[in-house]
Structure 1
């Protein structure tokens, strides 16, 4: 049990950040120990292969920086594509704010670095790219450890911001820090990118063709002289992403039923293929690569690049170096002022809007944490100076110092924002507001039941409990121990009129029969369809039609909409278990676990009292 808990902790964002810190410390200790020769000698080991005249030979350090790190940037590209397809970057206002803050958060640190190094004579100007990037993994880990106790919306804002940051940083690496360009391999790389685009346009659902093209793309890019990080990012951007397709999910359910009735290798393979077709190839690749990247690839990179030999006065020399201070000031102050002030001005001028629940104090705290450059910074230092040169060691010291200062500054700003500005959270509300009222709310089950499950629904929502059958599973599990409450949150095209129709049916005491009946007919919710359903259910059609557009019914739906906004429910389905918003998955098994946990907590409180 302890081992399983430890593994689960490491897989969290805060756990991954702690792992990176541990690896960086190990690298520093190793590089400054009597075994330092083995540390530096390890990365110089030549590794390669030759097949029929074609081969590739690099030392281990290059395999890590030009090979493994391509996977890291590929994952970044996948995340960027998801944000554009069905994430925060679909919202024009938030995308515009992220673009403004992201550009400022790249430009101002570079300006600070150039000014400081140029004032000292200009030796080391080529390392300005070391201050433009943010280490997303470290940022999110530090946010989890030192940010507000609830920071989900701030996390979304920072993720959206790092999308722009990562794209600009990788573009700079690919353009500024590439070697001499070779034409033929470059044309092959471009052909591979075109192939990825064509696969996406053809709606190819299998991941295999994409993987094969990405592998060829990597070989071609390395041989072309362009830094492979750019190819990784662009390749990730070309992997198609789209919301889950309901009809594919329904088809997969039928395939699983076939397997249930006649289990065989063929039917099992059909289920696997059916499930894969329901989820975009982008999300499937991201799910496979996300954890190995965070827990294996990035720590290996840190081990290979964070080890700086500080003996022989290197530390003293570093703090007398303009490169070190350029990196520190660029990352710590440049990120803080660039992102923070740009966001503040953009919001004040109406050029963008912050996520709900996020205040400017939290923004400046997140901007300070963005000064943790680490991964991208160390990569650029290796390209610009070489990690073992004097300038490379001085710049690396700057990155490590900046990481500590940025974290401490972020922690301080979050504490001040909580005490002085009242920003104790940076997230949507978590508590159901107003509480369940038997005089107003639609309740199924005993009004005094031990457990309460509230669901915000849309009659056109394919994933609400009535559409998926989750409610039936819960009712059979908990019986009269559970009261189920439904509130309206119409946001699909036919949602508003369907919500009013259910309230019109409620006026005749038929809300629950209406709900059960209409949720099986989600593809036919036009006005004439709803009136026909009223006839089939035996309602007074004249009264139903009059109520459908009445001010009272509209006010009843509006009450639920205001409740959803006050409770942090912005999409359907959103569930509240005993008044607390449920985060994450909402399948019947998860809901059952949450209800059982709430029941155990209630019993524990009763015993203590």
Structure 2
């Protein structure tokens, strides 16, 4: 990394989606493969001639002694109660991020996956209780409530349905709420008898953790020490200690990078470039670190260890089950097994799909542009892959070894069936209603309530442009578009959509966000005019001046850009995802009456293309 490249990186910090998405998906897929391999290894080991060594390993005690005090756990409980606290820690960080500055901050957009997730928790539990209405089996209803996110995303990568980008975001949003529900169920229904004194100590430790953010230094070590103390206190209180990870995560602050912090880092980088020395290097490092919230830093630092170490080890010690004729026959005759299969496969599919349909139909919430119910149905089927949390609850909800084996077999059967059902739905719907060739037709119809339109929204002719505000060709195209609009008058509606090419135009994404913030005040076209007129000066300090010139209330503009940024961000993201789906790679790109325009985009060429469309 060169000194010249750092300012550009800093400018991109507010755009969380600008991370290398391809690398992220590769890591998620690798984690899912690793989880599957360790699951198979556990099954093979538990059914091999060396099966005794597997069970011996799980029951091996590890710990330490201090004077007359002794603390020890079996290997299985060390992983399930100890290492899994890091898994729940990551879950808590993701939940906090999404509700604070992520997908769940925009109520209308978040309403559908939130309600769908709640239905995906309740319906499976109800179906399980139909099979097991009373007795010891009924206590295991929590096994069917949660989806395994790693396997879900891995399954999407294997099946490769058409245009999965928005479905993936929908399912990840749904998974966050799913995780919240699972955590609440574990805390409320699967904790042992509560001891008051350790519980009081736990509450004091929670208050101390909340105060760590005010420490001037050593916040990381403080979180670690107090988190471990909270784990011990919860263990002694009879509450499942892994919830310590959630408590710490929810108390760690999260924020979007502030413009003042980012600009301060840029100044430090410039000073370092002019006079490289250790002092400036430390200041740059500290400034870059502090500009990103500790929530995101910990997700990046701890997340890989959870994905590539903790979860595979969890699968290894929990997925091992004897699959001989007697155990399989007993499982296939058990209402516990079939309650789990029906709850995960049928419950998740019916609950999520039905809730999404009702929310979309009633217009209480809205699906992301381009999402359809058939996409959701395929994802809902895959949500029946309940592995990590399901096996976790099996271990704490069921004591009898025979019933525990039946439950594990049920989870494995459900995961296989859910994958097959999701694969069938995606393949069938893609075959019955195949999408148009990539990039030939507009993937998302014009929406007058959402899109930026010049002209009559109901005009018979439509010209859609994908462009960015730093592109000189887009700026020149505005004159041609004015001629086209003058030629057709009320017969034409012109639509602008964002396609910020950040590699070529490093300020394009910020300019797009700024235009959307102006649009919230009804000043989109005025702001677009200012941005096109000052393409060589698109730093944020300049953009604020253009917002004033465009007639924006600058205080509201600042809030919409920095604090209430989710709606602004989502609009730009949606347009950018359209361009990715259609494999667009240059700006401007035009669509004439929904069909991609090939060839010159001067006024005469566009007029001829629109005339042909009218005929």
TM-score by length of 1: 0.74
Q: Distance in 1 between matches of 2:289 and 2:349?
A: 42
Deviations 1:551-605 (A, max 9, x none): xxxxxxxxxx9x979944699xxx9633699xxxxxxxxxxxxxxxxxxxxxxxx
Q: Partner residue of 2:236? A: 223
* Mapping 1:135-174, distance limit 5 Å: 135-174=148-187
Q: Distance in 2 between matches of 1:102 and 1:403?
A: 18
- SS of 2:385 mapped into structure 1: coil
Task: Judge conservation of contact 2:212–2:223 (CA < 8 Å) in 1.
Answer: yes
Task: Judge conservation of contact 1:74–1:233 (CA < 8 Å) in 2.
Answer: yes
**1:442 is aligned to 2:475:** yes
Task: Judge conservation of contact 1:70–1:228 (CA < 8 Å) in 2.
Answer: yes
Residue of structure 2 aligned with 1:491, choices 495, 516, 519: 516
Residue of structure 2 aligned with 1:419, choices 422, 431, 443: 431
- 1:400–1:203 CA distance, 2 compared to 1 (3 A): farther
* Mapping 1:102-181, distance limit 5 Å: 102-118=117-133, 122-181=135-194
Q: Partner residue of 1:76? A: 91
Q: Partner residue of 2:606? A: none
Q: Distance in 2 between matches of 1:328 and 1:224?
A: 34
Deviations 1:269-295 (A, max 9, x none): 322211111001100001111111111
Q: Partner residue of 1:521? A: 542
Q: Partner residue of 1:28? A: 43
**1:577 is aligned to 2:590:** no
Residue of structure 1 aligned with 2:404, choices 367, 389, 392: 392
- SS of 2:517 mapped into structure 1: coil
Deviation at 1:184, TM superposition (A): 2.2
Deviation at 1:409, TM superposition (A): 0.3
- SS of 1:56 mapped into structure 2: strand
Q: Partner residue of 1:594? A: none
Deviations 1:493-540 (A, max 9, x none): 49975862663797xxxx35x643886523434646999xxxxxxxxx
- 1:32–1:367 CA distance, 2 compared to 1 (3 A): same
Deviation at 1:264, TM superposition (A): 4.0
**1:268 is aligned to 2:286:** no
Deviation at 1:154, TM superposition (A): 1.0
Deviations 1:149-200 (A, max 9, x none): 4312111111111111111111111221112222222222222222233334
Q: Partner residue of 1:403? A: 415
**1:16 is aligned to 2:49:** no
- 1:570–1:361 CA distance, 2 compared to 1 (3 A): closer
**Stretches of structure 2 lacking an aligned partner (at least 5 in a row):** 1-21, 446-462, 481-496, 553-568, 590-615
Task: Judge conservation of contact 1:17–1:138 (CA < 8 Å) in 2.
Answer: yes
Residue of structure 2 aligned with 1:251, choices 264, 287, 301: 264
Q: Partner residue of 1:465? A: 506
Deviations 1:127-148 (A, max 9, x none): 1111111111111111122142
Deviations 1:286-305 (A, max 9, x none): 11111111111111100010
* Mapping 1:570-609, distance limit 5 Å: 577-578=585-586
Q: Distance in 1 between matches of 2:574 and 2:77?
A: 52
* Mapping 1:253-402, distance limit 5 Å: 253-311=266-324, 313-386=326-399, 389-402=401-414
Deviations 1:43-85 (A, max 9, x none): 1111112346665311111110011111111101111111112
Q: Distance in 1 between matches of 2:116 and 2:437?
A: 22
Task: Judge conservation of contact 2:530–2:546 (CA < 8 Å) in 1.
Answer: no
- 1:286–1:567 CA distance, 2 compared to 1 (3 A): closer
TM-score by length of 2: 0.73
Q: Distance in 1 between matches of 2:516 and 2:508?
A: 16
Q: Partner residue of 2:61? A: 46
Q: Partner residue of 1:600? A: none
Residue of structure 2 aligned with 1:92, choices 86, 102, 107: 107
Deviation at 1:266, TM superposition (A): 3.7
- 1:523–1:123 CA distance, 2 compared to 1 (3 A): closer
- 1:174–1:488 CA distance, 2 compared to 1 (3 A): closer
Task: Judge conservation of contact 1:308–1:393 (CA < 8 Å) in 2.
Answer: yes
- Worse-superposed segment, 328-337 or 168-177: 168-177
- SS of 1:141 mapped into structure 2: helix
- 1:124–1:250 CA distance, 2 compared to 1 (3 A): same
- SS of 1:357 mapped into structure 2: coil
Deviation at 1:87, TM superposition (A): 1.1
Q: Distance in 2 between matches of 1:72 and 1:395?
A: 22
- Worse-superposed segment, 331-340 or 432-441: 432-441
Residue of structure 1 aligned with 2:526, choices 497, 500, 505: 500
- 1:423–1:341 CA distance, 2 compared to 1 (3 A): farther
Q: Distance in 2 between matches of 1:397 and 1:207?
A: 41
Instruction: Tell me the number of residue pairs that the alignment of Structure 1 and Structure 2 aligns.
Output: 507
Q: CA RMSD in A?
A: 4.0
Q: Distance in 1 between matches of 2:131 and 2:437?
A: 37
Deviation at 1:394, TM superposition (A): 0.4
Task: Judge conservation of contact 1:430–1:580 (CA < 8 Å) in 2.
Answer: no
**Stretches of structure 1 lacking an aligned partner (at least 5 in a row):** 1-6, 448-453, 471-485, 532-560, 582-609
Q: Distance in 1 between matches of 2:247 and 2:137?
A: 29
Q: Distance in 1 between matches of 2:530 and 2:259?
A: 29
Q: Distance in 1 between matches of 2:387 and 2:436?
A: 28
Task: Judge conservation of contact 2:103–2:173 (CA < 8 Å) in 1.
Answer: yes
